[in-house]
Amino acid sequence: MRALISVSDKTGVVEFADGLKRLGWDIIATGGTMKLLRDAGLEVINISDVTGFPEICDGRVKTLHPKVHGGLLARRDLPSHLEALRENGIEFIDMVCVNLYPFRQTIAKEGVSMEDAIENIDIGGPSMLRSAAKNYRDVTVVCDPQDYGRVLDEIRAGGNTRSETRLMLSAKAFTHTAQYDACIATYLREKAGLPEKLFLDFDIVQPLRYGENPHQQARFYRGAEPVPFSLAFARQLNGKELSYNNIQDANAALNIVREFDAPFCVGLKHMNPCGAAVGRDIAQAWSKAYEADKVSIYGGIVAVNREVDAATALAMKPVFLEIIIAPSFSKEALEILTKKKNLRLLEVDMRRTGVRERQLVSVNGGLLVQDLDTETCTVTAEMAVTKRRPEAALLADMDFAWRIVKHVKSNAIVVVKDGCTAGIGAGQMNRVGSAEIALREAREKGLTEGLVLASDGFLPFDDTVTLAAGYGVSAIVQPGGSIHDEDSVVKADELGIAMVFTGERHFKH
């Protein structure tokens, strides 16, 4: 029995080759793999001795030869194939152990050149994998070092791998080459400006008990490369398995958290914030966010942008929460919170990067793709369109409100006071309806003056301005852009309200 080994990832390959040798297999190897195995004291056949042809073109051509692919592809049950091998002096190759040049890792390097990327496109490796995988009835194909132990165990037990294992390994090999080719195609298509194809590469994180409702099946997948503020790459430190709806809500919470640099806390329910605040530290931010809506936070999700310390954990512990998300938890906080066995604690990378992220949304029979809405302008006094310009305290609340309203379902209105949400109106069919909800919430808390109101879209008429003035709103932040903008500005001037136009819109449908 002969095995051909040629790997870029050399993890465990010496032990694997040694195991095969001890089981009586001959090892054929190429280039760096051959040197590594020989340096480890293993007897290895040079690929050039098999093909009768040297490696050429700086190693670009070494395994693309009939004595390799004939030995892999010939069916052992067809006399014509066996005769062809005899006539041409070709011997069987019974196993291929190959993994590919590190193309993905190469293009992930900062400043990588096109030339370096092209040189890390493997040609012979995928060809060998595909040949061996196609002929899985007779040939074992191994592309994942995690499978070395299983392969050796089966050969020890039965003289060869089992047919079921060879089928599984074949599927893994075709998956490996498909992902590899998709990565190369995506890279080159971006360079060539060809957007009409989209290749997706996602690995399963876990099957879910069910989807949005119990009768719907669901699974959770993650992309090939880690990104910050991602639940897919979070570490779960405590609690039961996440559900489909947990994942949706937690993702929405992370998108809000990434808006803030100051200590910040948001409570979230059904993908809308129910209380959010900044504070001098994370304990104060939690206290303010909780007080903003004690009712809705029950059974909700909390996300913070600082380590959860013991003081914050003690304050959170009495409240029934589904999930707490943070960049880290202190040892003392974990001791406090893990006493609640069902409370999910998620540690998420919240480091900021300049990488552009995409948002994928499925529709029946299709997919919508857009840039993730991560850019938010800072609200400044220069954006004022009214005679009154917002004072410093109002301006800080306007910036805070603008970053929160962006993440509330449209039509969205957020009312803010002192760096904390006072009222939130989400998802109404008209903007005045959302404003009425948010303003009533603020009044029920006893907040009747110095309020800031933020709208995710323009105010098409002056009715929202009139309503806001009656509830003690002193400043309004909105994108502007209505043909009736002037009506709102005139009304704000009449009522003594400061209004700014940000010039950017953040609908969240």
What pLDDT, in 10s, does the model give residues 63-113? 778 888 888 989 888 899 988 889 888 899 999 999 887 888 887 787 888
State how far the Cα of 35 lies from the Cα of 17, in Å rounded to an integer. 13
State how far the Cα of 160 lies from the Cα of 138, in Å rounded to an integer. 10
| Tokens describing residue 446 | 């006893």
The set of catalytic residues is: 134, 270
User: Does residue 302 have a pLDDT over 90?
Assistant: yes
Strands 95-99 vs 2-7: parallel, antiparallel or unpaired? parallel
Using a 10 angstrom Cβ sphere, with 0-12 exposed, 13-18 middle and 19 or more buried, the burial of residue 159 is exposed
Residue with tokens 């006071």: 417
Listed ranges 49-53, 182-186, 214-218; the one with the highest mean pLDDT: 214-218
Strand residue runs (E) in 271-337: 272-278, 300-304, 321-326
Check: CB of residue 42 under 8 Å from CB of residue 16: no
Residue with tokens 């066996």: 82
User: Does residue 14 have a pLDDT over 90?
Assistant: yes
User: Does residue 266 have a pLDDT over 90?
Assistant: yes
pLDDT, residue 58, reads: 67
Cis before 246? omega within 30: no
Q: Domains, the chain, ranges and CATH?
A: 2-192 (3.40.50.1380), 202-347 (3.40.140.20), 381-501 (3.40.140.20)
pLDDT band at 59 (very low <50, low <70, confident <90, very high): low
Average pLDDT over residues 462-490: 96
pLDDT, residue 144, reads: 94
Please provide the distance, in angstroms rounded to a whole number, between the alpha carbons at the two ends of the chain: 61
State how far the Cα of 472 lies from the Cα of 497, in Å rounded to an integer. 10
User: Does residue 193 have a pLDDT over 90?
Assistant: no
User: Does residue 428 have a pLDDT over 80?
Assistant: yes
pLDDT band at 224 (very low <50, low <70, confident <90, very high): confident
Which residues touch 23 (CB under 8 Å, ≥6 apart)?
152, 155, 156
Check: CB of residue 417 under 8 Å from CB of residue 450: yes
pLDDT, residue 56, reads: 64
